[in-house]
Structure 1
Amino acid sequence: MKNVGIISQARMTSTRLPGKVLLPIAGRPMLHYHMQRLQASHLPVYLAITTNQADDVLADFAQTHTLPYVRGSEDNVLSRYWLCAEANELDVIVRVTSDCPLLDGELIAESVREYLRADDDRLYLSNVLERTFPRGLDFEIFSRQLLAEAMQHATLASDLEHVTPYIHQNRSGSVRFQHISRQPARSHYRLTVDTADDFLLIRTLIEEHNAHQLKTTELIALLDAHPELIALNAHIEQKKV
């Protein structure tokens, strides 16, 4: 049996909306919903935070909620993932980011099962490269072997900050790809939090529509039925990698 773990990266010093992961929604920090949704996968969940003093509150959150965590470089996020994978002897890593509070743990678990059935350490499986899901439901699944190669060979600042470019750009020349997709596509919907308007949408979805209790199909159906909700952050442009 391979040891699989979800690693979520988090920091308090986000440029567009500092401290966003702990902003309150219905009396709980946004990070609470993120972790709760991931735990629905029934896979171990780890938090990868920085050594900056500003992130001491995230370490406190992890300790309060009995979440295993590691602390490492703010800029070299790739090294944080490697540190966590090594410390917890993970064979397979699921990468997510903490600004996505409505990730679907059941969808991730189903995708992990598909990854494991392939039995291929050279496989990179995600719903990111060919986008059909709303942004904010993103996940990537890959082996510690591929992560180790990225650690050894990735040199660009963008490689270190965004963790997986060395892998998904197939710079080794031997990565195999599999894409998780859905139809009809809804990749233009935003369920990630980069700005105040993104947060307004997420807060409205959770506080007024119990979105944290909905599966992906139900979330998308909710957005389809409420174009006024989509309009709250439709103007936001995703930061370029």
Structure 2
Amino acid sequence: MITAIIQARLNSSRLNKKILLKIENKNLLEHLFSQLSYSTHIDKKIIATTINKIDDEIENFAKLQNITFFRGNPLDVLDRYYRCAKFFNLETIVRISGDAPLIDPSIVDKTIEYYKKNNFDYVSNFFNRSYPIGTEIEIFSFKTLEKCWMNAKKSSEKEHVTPFIYNNPELFKIGHIEYKKNISHLHWTVDQIEDFKFVELIFKKIKKRPILMDNILELLENEPELLEINKN
């Protein structure tokens, strides 16, 4: 079974409660889950949020939407992921950030297929970055996650889920998914209000669902002025 764990919290220093901002009557988390629903390989989706009081809103949202959730360490995200995966007895984990409402399910499926076909410990599409920021996906086994959790010592290896893998590539069988050209300068994740305005326009201008990376690239080619919205 392949499970997507979406890490999400509301206490963002740059844009507070950004994942609950709404576009066309759906918040960003709803849009993200809608995009992921088109994946043919993801069997289950879980929100991994924190035990902080502010994230009660995420728990309430998950309950309202009938989405499985887990609450864990606010600062040690590796620990949160590990305990979530252990609690639900997960086998294969896909990591996705909650501020990426334009996640492309076709890229998700391509990455999963590559992982399964080659028996990797870990595969991502940003180890050697070429895809737009906001389309990132990582996939790894529970065994790989547990290895990170048991051996990570630096705080920088615990603030995020997989830095221990980047720092110790000789310990893992790692695979990379790369795009045909480097377009990693494109910023589609929601970090600032300008990013939200950009993403909002994408959802309004592209009516087809799911929204794929190629749809956005075509729109930007026809309307390059959209890139000015969040260029900084």
Q: Normalising TM by the smaller chain, what interval?
A: over 0.9
Q: CA deviation at 1:207?
A: 2.0
CA contact (8 A) 1:92 1:144 kept: yes
Is 1:101 matched up with 2:106?
no
Alignment check: 8 A CA contact 1:223 1:230 kept: yes
Matched, 1:227 2:224: yes
TM-score when scaled to structure 2? 0.94
Tell me the SS of whatever aligns to 1:145: helix
Amino acid of the structure 2 residue aligned with 1:185:
N
Structure 1 residues 165 and 211: CA distance shift in structure 2, 3 A:
farther
**C-alpha distance after superposition, 1:170-194 (max 9, x if no partner):** 26x3212211111232111110011
- Partner residue of 1:239? none
Alignment equivalent of 1:133, drawn from 131, 134, 148: 131
Residue in structure 1 matched with residue 171 of structure 2 by the alignment: 174
Q: Secondary structure at the match of 2:96?
A: strand
Distance 1:148 1:215 in 2: 32
The offset of 1:146, in angstroms, is 1.4
Q: Say whether the 8 Å CA contact 1:205–1:211 is kept in structure 2.
A: no
- What amino acid is the match of 2:115? Y
Gaps of 5+ in 1: 236-241
Residues 1:111 and 2:111 are matched in the alignment: yes
Counterpart CA distance in 2 for 1:211 and 1:137 is 18
Residues 72-104 of structure 1, C-alpha deviation per residue, up to 9 Å, x if partnerless? 011011111111211222121111100000101
Describe how 1:14-29 pairs up with structure 2 within 5 A: 14-29=12-27
- Paired residue for 2:149? 151
Q: How far 1:220 moved relative to its partner?
A: 1.7
| Counterpart-to-counterpart distance in 2, 1:131 and 1:226 | 25
Identity %: 32
RMSD: 1.5
Which residue identity is paired with 2:65? H
Partner of 2:201: 204
> 2-side partners of 1:106 and 1:84: how far apart?
26
Partner of 1:76: 76
Deviation (angstroms), 1:213 = 3.1
**C-alpha displacement at 1:61, in angstroms?**
0.9
